[in-house]
Amino acid sequence: MKLYIIANRLPVKVQRTEGGGFEFQRSEGGLATGLASLDTHNETHWIGWPGIHTEDPVERAAITEALEKMQFHPVFLNETQILNYYEGYSNNVIWPLCHYFYAYIEYQTLYWESYKEVNELFLEKAESLAVAGDVAWVQDYQLMLLPKLLRERIKGLSIGYFHHIPFPSYELFRVLPERAELLEGLLGADLIAFHTHDYMRHFVSAVERVLLLRFALDRVIVRNRTVHVDALPMGINFDLYHNAILDPLVQEKASVFRENYGGSKLVLSVDRLDYSKGILHRLKGFELFLKENPAYLERVSLVMIVVPSRDRVERYAELKKNIDETIGNINGAYSTMNWTPVYYFYHGLPFEELLALYHIADIALVSPLRDGMNLVAKEYVAAKRDQPGVLILSEMAGAAIELSDAVTINPNDVVQISDALSYALDMSKEEQLDALKRMQAQVSRHSVHLWAKRFMDELMGIRLKNMENDQKRLVGVQAEKIRKAYRKAKSRLFILDYDGTLSAFKNRPEDAKPNAEILDTLIRLTADPMNKVVISSGRDHTTLENWLGHLNLDMAAEHGAFYKEKGVWHKKEGPMVWDAEILSIFQAFIDKTPRSKLEMKETALVWHYRRVDAWLGTMREQQLVEALMEPCSRLNLQIMRGDKIIEVKSPNFTKGSEAKRLLKQAKYDFICAIGDDTTDEDTFRALPKSAITIKVGGVSDQARYYVLMQAETLPLLNFWMDDTSTSD
């Protein structure tokens, strides 16, 4: 098994040398470090853009040859693709959208075309390398279409996807014309993970609303597969940052910096130039702090590292201009001969210098307006080692969820930034060390190594489960084996659920009338005198009688409260559900839940919410159960959660008790039960282990087999009955 990490950028820097050749330097980002530590015997390969532009086939071949020795497989992009796929759709559409900068979206159809084209290019590269049994782990928003493409073209590949930036609320995501394609693209993966549960929640709601799929907790069935989602916050290489100060070079830098900045307290900020980072708000907050705290003048400086990024793009150039001007104004107004309020570096620093700064900074001011995670916050915490220091952290950064001992701020509120600075400066050394210690424990445990391991373990777990589930799936050999057993048997019992099993779900329950295919199959099945066929449904007996009463079969209605045998209906005794109090509770919920409805059966009341908005339905369902709990226990009634229904009925009858009653009547050498609902699991449980129990719609622990969808049920029954020469 090989692991392919597929990311927009390869973790390597390729540069032209003066002699016309190329120089290659590995760049050990967080991701590369985390993956390098994976305790696996599998080969890890990377697929990505090498970051250098050349259209010359000879140069491309030379770069490819050199990179492949490092197990890096380059995908070359031309200038138009870099402009339209990378700068365009990725950075001018998805990036601002996911960071809630809706007005910054610069949309062009051309961008989308290029985004699709480049995702296909990545697929082509993957296709030339990966085979069944391998694993592909796709990284981030530049490649959202890739999981689906990989799924379609490389059979037997396990696919994971990690989204490094925020996933926005549905209300924002829905504005994208390509919202459905992007979500479908991601759903090609087996596991989709985000930094926080909030992003995961937004993704789930976007999928439910845009694609009209329904999640069951953290999973959703997409065609014939289950896709899992999870929140797995990314960590850092803790030891690297924690131990950095032990390096004499870092120590030397630290003492030089300390000396240069004199006795000033240092507030540090480190970001890439981007509007999501809140750099201007931060400066305004610092300015306010100086204005309101004259005692700190000449005693506190802000050291601001801004790593250049896209500053040829107008919006970024403008941001840079504003930053330059704001800093100019602050320094102009407050500087003295001995003191500079803001030290500003518009360039990246070597690792050793960055670490020296982390170590000596009294405060790290991490105040993005939105940030998927923000690793700088975690790096600062680790690098402080045993020195005091305070982390001021934006509540809009994913990291704020884990780093609850930071001083948190709303980064839009400059007053809060200013107040947080004075609060942090007033904190005692003990308070600072206490908070740091707790955060260090968190960051050291939840390292990038653990993050990568947890993702891979989860993906491998899903792969294993899928393999086990494949064994339970009723197709091919399994279906053939059962057909043989069917042939041999002399006395067969069929217990068949109706809705969702024989008939597809309809928005209006009364529309689920048996069609010709259902009737033909049942007529065929009941024509064999060795078959006893029972329809076991939660529906009322009048409807069942109207729809199926003319057939030669038995029925159990309302979960066995009524049963029909030899053409006659019988009713079992149980408590009455039409209690005024219960009815009024149901009525109140119907009134406040648009599109929900009440079905009134003789022995049960059923609240249907299939057509209700997913979020509202889930909330109302829980509220309704809570409201029903007390009166139902007083009246000895059972509350049952089914597939988008809540049913109140007597506990005396269940589909299971009905199955037991049927078993007592005769000896069978072939028993088959098929159903899609939790109530059918009562039937499965009541039957002997040897019975052919089949869950419709996905695996179930109670059933021996499953079919993925209702549409497979009738063909399966017909297949067993078909007379073909190859079957014996």
Give the active site residues: 497
Task: Decide: is 658 part of the binding site for ligand GDG (CB under 6 A).
Answer: no
Task: Decide: is 454 part of the binding site for ligand GDG (CB under 6 A).
Answer: no
Q: Among residues 307, 415, 625, 663, which is the contact residue for ligand GDG, using CB under 6 A?
A: 307
Q: Which is nearer to ligand GDG, 7 or 691 (CB)?
A: 7
Contact present, 11 and 28 (Cβ < 8 Å): yes
In the complex, minimum distance from the CB of residue 171 to ligand GDG, in angstroms, rounded to a whole number: 21
Record the tokens describing residue 635, joined without a space. Answer: 């009246």
In the complex, minimum distance from the CB of residue 234 to ligand GDG, in angstroms, rounded to a whole number: 5
Interface region with ligand GDG, contact rule CB under 6 A, candidates 220-228, 345-353, 388-396, 624-632: 345-353
The b-or-e profile of 436-464 (16+ CB within 10 A means b, else e) is beebbebbbebbbbbbbbbbbebbbebbe
Task: Decide: is 126 part of the binding site for ligand GDG (CB under 6 A).
Answer: no
Interface region with ligand GDG, contact rule CB under 6 A, candidates 184-192, 343-351, 410-418, 614-622: 343-351
Q: Among residues 213, 349, 415, 709, which is the contact residue for ligand GDG, using CB under 6 A?
A: 349
> H-type helices in 607-666, by residue range?
614-634, 655-665
Residues in a beta bridge with 272: 307
Interface region with ligand GDG, contact rule CB under 6 A, candidates 62-70, 288-296, 348-356, 492-500: 348-356
> H-type helices in 498-613, by residue range?
516-527, 541-548, 580-592
In the complex, minimum distance from the CB of residue 386 to ligand GDG, in angstroms, rounded to a whole number: 21
In the complex, minimum distance from the CB of residue 555 to ligand GDG, in angstroms, rounded to a whole number: 57
Interface region with ligand GDG, contact rule CB under 6 A, candidates 121-129, 212-220, 369-377, 501-509: 369-377
**Residue partners of 537: CB distance under 8 A and separation at least 6:** 497, 498, 499, 544, 555, 556, 557
CA 699: distance to chain centroid?
21
| Whole-angstrom Cα Rg for the chain | 32
**Residue partners of 430: CB distance under 8 A and separation at least 6:** none
Task: Decide: is 343 part of the binding site for ligand GDG (CB under 6 A).
Answer: no
In the complex, minimum distance from the CB of residue 278 to ligand GDG, in angstroms, rounded to a whole number: 13
Q: Which is nearer to ligand GDG, 354 or 672 (CB)?
A: 354
**Contact string (CB under 6 A) for ligand GDG, positions 26-55, x = contact:** ----x-------------------------
Interface region with ligand GDG, contact rule CB under 6 A, candidates 45-53, 66-74, 212-220, 344-352: 344-352
Q: Which is nearer to ligand GDG, 190 or 271 (CB)?
A: 271
Q: Which is nearer to ligand GDG, 348 or 509 (CB)?
A: 348
In the complex, minimum distance from the CB of residue 174 to ligand GDG, in angstroms, rounded to a whole number: 22
Task: Decide: is 375 part of the binding site for ligand GDG (CB under 6 A).
Answer: yes
In the complex, minimum distance from the CB of residue 139 to ligand GDG, in angstroms, rounded to a whole number: 9
Q: Which is nearer to ligand GDG, 349 or 504 (CB)?
A: 349
Distances (CA, A) of 401 to 145, 217, 242, 367, 404: 29, 21, 21, 14, 6
In the complex, minimum distance from the CB of residue 322 to ligand GDG, in angstroms, rounded to a whole number: 20
Q: Which is nearer to ligand GDG, 341 or 372 (CB)?
A: 372
Task: Decide: is 374 part of the binding site for ligand GDG (CB under 6 A).
Answer: yes
In the complex, minimum distance from the CB of residue 194 to ligand GDG, in angstroms, rounded to a whole number: 10
Q: Among residues 190, 379, 419, 540, which is the contact residue for ligand GDG, using CB under 6 A?
A: 379
Q: Strands, E, within 631-727: which ranges?
A: 638-642, 645-649, 670-675, 692-696, 705-707
Q: Which is nearer to ligand GDG, 250 or 671 (CB)?
A: 250
In the complex, minimum distance from the CB of residue 99 to ligand GDG, in angstroms, rounded to a whole number: 8
Q: Which is nearer to ligand GDG, 121 or 349 (CB)?
A: 349
Distances (CA, A) of 201 to 175, 219, 394: 18, 12, 20
Interface region with ligand GDG, contact rule CB under 6 A, candidates 69-77, 222-230, 330-338, 373-381: 373-381
Interface region with ligand GDG, contact rule CB under 6 A, candidates 315-323, 374-382, 689-697, 710-718: 374-382
Strands 645-649 and 638-642: antiparallel
CA 411: distance to chain centroid?
26
Task: Decide: is 351 part of the binding site for ligand GDG (CB under 6 A).
Answer: yes
User: How long is the chain?
Assistant: 728
Task: Decide: is 372 part of the binding site for ligand GDG (CB under 6 A).
Answer: yes
Q: Which residue type sits at 607?
A: W
Strands 215-216 and 191-194: unpaired
Q: Which residue type sits at 610?
A: R
Return the closest-CA partner of residue 240 out of 39, 85, 444. Answer: 444
Q: Which is nearer to ligand GDG, 376 or 585 (CB)?
A: 376
Q: Which is nearer to ligand GDG, 373 or 482 (CB)?
A: 373
Contact present, 6 and 137 (Cβ < 8 Å): yes
Cβ count near 370 (within 10 Å) = 23
Q: Among residues 369, 376, 392, 493, which is the contact residue for ligand GDG, using CB under 6 A?
A: 376
**From CA 569, how far away is CA 566, in angstroms rounded?**
9
Task: Decide: is 452 part of the binding site for ligand GDG (CB under 6 A).
Answer: no
**Residue partners of 586: CB distance under 8 A and separation at least 6:** 598, 605, 607, 624
Q: Among residues 130, 354, 448, 482, which is the contact residue for ligand GDG, using CB under 6 A?
A: 354
**Contact string (CB under 6 A) for ligand GDG, positions 260-289, x = contact:** ----------x-x-----------------
**From CA 432, how far away is CA 419, in angstroms rounded?**
17
Q: Among residues 200, 304, 305, 448, which is the contact residue for ligand GDG, using CB under 6 A?
A: 305
Which string of DSSP letters, residue by residue, matches 141-195? Answer: GGGTTHHHHHHHHSTT-EEEEEE-S----HHHHTT-TTHHHHHHHHTTSSEEEES
Long-range contacts of 283-286 (CB under 8 A, 24+ apart): 283/323, 283/326, 283/327, 283/330, 283/342, 284/326, 284/414, 284/417, 285/367, 285/414, 285/415, 285/416, 285/417, 285/418, 285/421, 286/330, 286/341, 286/342, 286/365, 286/417, 286/418, 286/421
Interface region with ligand GDG, contact rule CB under 6 A, candidates 72-80, 212-220, 371-379, 475-483: 371-379
**Contact string (CB under 6 A) for ligand GDG, positions 227-246, x = contact:** -------x------------
Strands 492-496 and 531-536: parallel
Q: Which is nearer to ligand GDG, 303 or 522 (CB)?
A: 303
> Residue count at the site for ligand GDG (CB under 6 A)?
19
Q: What are the φ and ψ backbone dihedral angles of 202, each rounded to 5 degrees?
A: -65, -40
Return the closest-CA partner of residue 258 out of 297, 298, 307, 303. Answer: 303
Record the tokens describing residue 684, joined without a space. Answer: 């499965």
In the complex, minimum distance from the CB of residue 30 to ligand GDG, in angstroms, rounded to a whole number: 6
CA 400: distance to chain centroid?
19
Q: Among residues 60, 125, 164, 310, which is the contact residue for ligand GDG, using CB under 6 A?
A: 164
First and final C-alpha spacing in the chain: 39
Q: Among residues 169, 222, 348, 514, which is the contact residue for ligand GDG, using CB under 6 A?
A: 348
Return the closest-CA partner of residue 269 out of 189, 343, 216, 164. Answer: 343
In the complex, minimum distance from the CB of residue 443 to ligand GDG, in angstroms, rounded to a whole number: 13
Contact present, 344 and 304 (Cβ < 8 Å): yes
Binding site for ligand GDG (CB under 6 A): 30, 164-165, 234, 270, 272, 305, 307, 348-349, 351, 354, 371-376, 379
